[in-house]
Amino acid sequence: MMTRVTAPTRWPEARATRGMVAAPHVLAAEAGRAMFTAGGNALDAAIAAAATIAVVYPHMNSIGGDNFWLIYDARAGRLRALNACGRSAAAVDADAYRARYGTAMPVRGGAAAIMVPGVVSGWWEAHRTSRDALGSPIPWKRLLEDAVRHARDGFAVSPGQRRVTAGADALFAASAPAEVRSSFWPVYHPDRFADGRFVQADLAATLAAVSEGGDEEFYRGDLARRIVAGAHAVGSPLTLGDLAEHRADWVEPLRVRYRDGEATSFPPPTQGFAALAILALLDGFDVANLDDADYVHVIVEATKLAFEDRDRYLADPTMVTVPVERCLDAARLARRRSRISRRAAIAVGGPPADGDTIAIVTADAQGNAVSVIQSTYHEFGAAVVAGGTGVLLQNRGAFFSLDPGHPNALAPRKRTAHTLIPSIYMVGGRPRFVYGTMGGEGQPQTQAALVTRLVDRGLGPQAAVEAPRWLYGRTWGEPSKALRLESRFGDTVATALGQRGHDWPTAPWSAAPTHAPTAPHSAARPHDGGPPTGVRCALLRRARAGVRRRGPVPRRSWTDDSRRPPRRDHGRVAPLPEQRGTVRREPLRLGEGLLRALPGADRQDPPRRLRHGARSDRPAAVWPPGRRCRSRPRSRGTRPATPGGTQVRRVSVGRRHRNNRAGGALRRVRVLVVLFTPTFRSPLGGSGS
């Protein structure tokens, strides 16, 4: 049994009992936590957070996108997977697309809006499960209340939305398609939120109608007719029949053994089997004792092998055969593992798999847990809005191939390949940690890094999130499949990888993003109050990987068990008199703010003077009134477990600006983790807390 590595972490932990929700936006996390207060469960919290995030995070997801769910039902002791992605329009003509667009699918405009929105069907089916299987008292209308309110009354525009809007200048140029200018500009043009607030009246009306009529109204009611009319007006081939025939499907999760537990993920049409194949390949290596260069090299090589199968087979399993069992067969993986050399890199190629998305993870005192991924594919999806409904349509259909011989070839009534992979690591048949991330092709790699650092290398969740990261593969339309490294790995690791044949040019460290900017902030909400329930939740701050650090960054390797560079820009903690039970924890002059969880946190309130002279203008976390604040400046290992029952130990919310050595800075990504601590000793070492 390994001893837990208690490496210092940049952001501290906070703890609460009874439940936890982590989401990329404070208002979504707040909506989820409100469900716990109202007597709901982890699934209710996930639905409320997902509905709210579709309003307040429009650059990354919307009600016109898709979602995928992994749901652990503690009462039944069962893990289930919910597929709520839409199919292509029945009127899609692949020959016509090839004649008009050549070899590549369009990514913007009505011609790119060919997929039925599946998001609402996912919310609805998850609600039915919460109500019928988990006995939730929360009515459907209550789950959408916060989303309706924020769309109707408006909310402060986040820095992330501003950055993404500014970065998507082609969408607001005179050369943008006419349907983009006529439908997208009136809602999302930067002039619309010049005053700092963003109101979506049409979307509020749509959500209100859905809160009254459920998924029936969205897919088969008057609202469905208005959505189709609006989609037709911008050139989309979607019809009322396409919406009426849509249903979310329950499917069986994929599973592979990894060490003393079981990694679970989503089956096709998502790339979940590739994520599991990476871990299964790594199961044959002593990952715990590899140095940094070997560690990165071995995982990248496993990624290449897993992506070979993904790129060859991934498609809609109801339309073509996807040999998942063969791809995850232990004997075949053992043979493929022999291709991994510690001295040389494998040369491979493949198509890009990028896109924007959000992850939400929740857990409750009963042991229920949820990981949900929701997306419109590219930022702002197809960049067309369906008439006066406020429904921003996705462009996931752009992932189809126009090669008629490809498994993922465009066809009517077909689900395209997806990158979205909600995931849970199980031990003894129960969740050990629940996790998700954005990042397209980077999702399986980020997940592999997270799992190996937690399970093999003995890090806590926050340290695992904050550790240096890499990305292999194409991203954001780049022609290269270079390996990108965060500069914190240091020259020794970079040189060693280069000597093994990994393709990357050296680039200086940069704190400024050069790729698509990330979303504004991550938020996690602990739910506390009432008598102890034998469950603890802990909140870990998100990682920022040295973003906007003042002064030069030391060029040194930060291995998993070494000390980090000097901590110059740490935040201070001070309860505010006017917010009893509130903790404000902010960086000094980092500019963008950390984990924000107070209502109205996006408002530009006047900076407040804290102790030690630190200035803070962005609140970090709310503690319920009357509860003692427990906050630690860094991770210091574990505490004894409370006898009896499962414990929810930590939530780690990570946002990483991955500065690279291959053409500038990597895009920032979100990593959300809920870590359960059973009363028995886990493969992570130590007892729970």
Burial of 683 (0-12, 13-18, 19+ CB in 10 A): middle
Report angle CA 204, 47, 71 to the nearest 5 degrees.
160
Indicate the DSSP class of residue 103.
T
The C-alpha atoms of residue 670 and residue 241 are separated, in whole angstroms, by 36
Buried b (16+ CB within 10 A) or exposed e, 294-304: bbbbbbbbbbb
What one-letter code names the amino acid at 434? V
CB 72 within 8 A of CB 431: yes
Per DSSP, the three-state class of 383 is: coil
Alpha carbon separation from 662 to 300, 485, 503, 507, 591 (Å, rounded): 15, 7, 9, 6, 26
Q: Is the dihedral angle over the CA atoms 339, 344, 345, 346 positive or is it negative?
A: negative
Residue with structure tokens 């208690």? 6
CB 299 within 8 A of CB 449: yes
CB 682 within 8 A of CB 570: no
> Between helices 272-282 and 330-337, what is the axis angle to 10°?
60
Indicate the DSSP class of residue 418.
B
Alpha carbon separation from 574 to 304, 584, 609, 612 (Å, rounded): 47, 6, 10, 10
- The token duo for 540 is 């870990």
Indicate the DSSP class of residue 171.
G
**357 belongs to the catalytic site:** yes
Given 129, 357, 475, 677, which residue is catalytic?
357
Report angle CA 658, 662, 664 to the nearest 5 degrees.
60
Strand partners, 409: 401
Residues 6+ apart with CB under 8 A from 566: 554
Neighbours of 183 (CB within 10 A): 27
The C-alpha atoms of residue 80 and residue 371 are separated, in whole angstroms, by 11
* Residues acting as catalytic residues: 357
